[in-house]
Amino acid sequence: MKSSMEKFDSELIIFDLDGTLIDSQRDIAVSLNETLEAVSIPPLALELVYSYVGNGVRPLLEKTMAEAGRKDEIGVAVEHFRRIYPRRLLETTVMFDEVEELLEHFIGNGKKMAIASNKPYGYVADIVKGLNMERYFLSVKGGDSYKTKKPEPEMLDTIISDIGADRNRTVFVGDSAVDIQAGKNSSLKTVGVTYGFRPREEVIGSNPDAVAQSPAELREIIR
């Protein structure tokens, strides 16, 4: 991992969504607890759920259902969650502080930007639209947009190809080991952010090319 102030020349910046651009963990956690209630499992403390969030909906449900001794009912839980979460998508979800200023800075400097999330595309699109973020991104993709999800390289590779960007001037930004591995699998420069959902130790341990502790630091790293 290079210094957090290492600067990367960029044409295209691809961002993860949850934990990187937006703080959505309360809406996810409340939806999870409502899902657990629907299958007669006691709710979990929100802080505990927050520690589970960050690698996608199904892994979250797999973990909680397995810990409740009900892993054979994951499919039922997923269906409940899919009915519950859409009406909670934007109850408390917001862009992280400084993110809007960051995106304005990048677009004002002619950067191309995209989103690559493992969250189902319908949720991603509704959140991006609901937070008035659409104008910033040339491409917005979700976990069901392709056959594979991150850390497989398909999503990132296809975004780069569709936009016609120079891979050597493309940077991927995320808050988890899954994100950083996805960037590496696509041979991209990677920046791990430590203000997101996953533990700082996980982000640093995934060995990104640089680390940002805030969106303001991202602005200094990516040029």
pLDDT, tens only, 64-118: 999 999 999 999 999 999 999 999 999 999 999 999 999 999 999 999 999 999 9
Give the CATH number for residue 84: 1.10.150.240
* 154 and 208 belong to one structural domain: yes
The answer to whether the beta carbons of residues 210 and 173 sit under 8 Å apart is no
77 and 98 inside one domain: no
| Same-domain check for residues 19 and 49 | no
Q: Is 199 a domain residue? A: yes
Of 88, 123, 143, the one marking the end of a domain is: 88
Domain ranges, residue 107 = 12-23+94-221
205 pLDDT more than 70? yes
End-of-domain residue from the set 70, 88, 106: 88
Residues 73 and 104 in one domain: no
Residue 6 lies in a domain: no
Threshold 0.85, pTM exceeds: yes
Q: CATH number of the domain that 128 lies in?
A: 3.40.50.1000
Question: What is the total count of domains within the chain?
Answer: 2
Q: Is the pLDDT of residue 4 over 50?
A: no
**pLDDT reported for residue 54:** 74
In terms of domains, do 204 and 113 share one?
Answer: yes
- Same-domain check for residues 200 and 110: yes
Residues 28-68 have pLDDT tens digits of 999 999 999 999 999 999 988 888 887 778 888 999 999 99
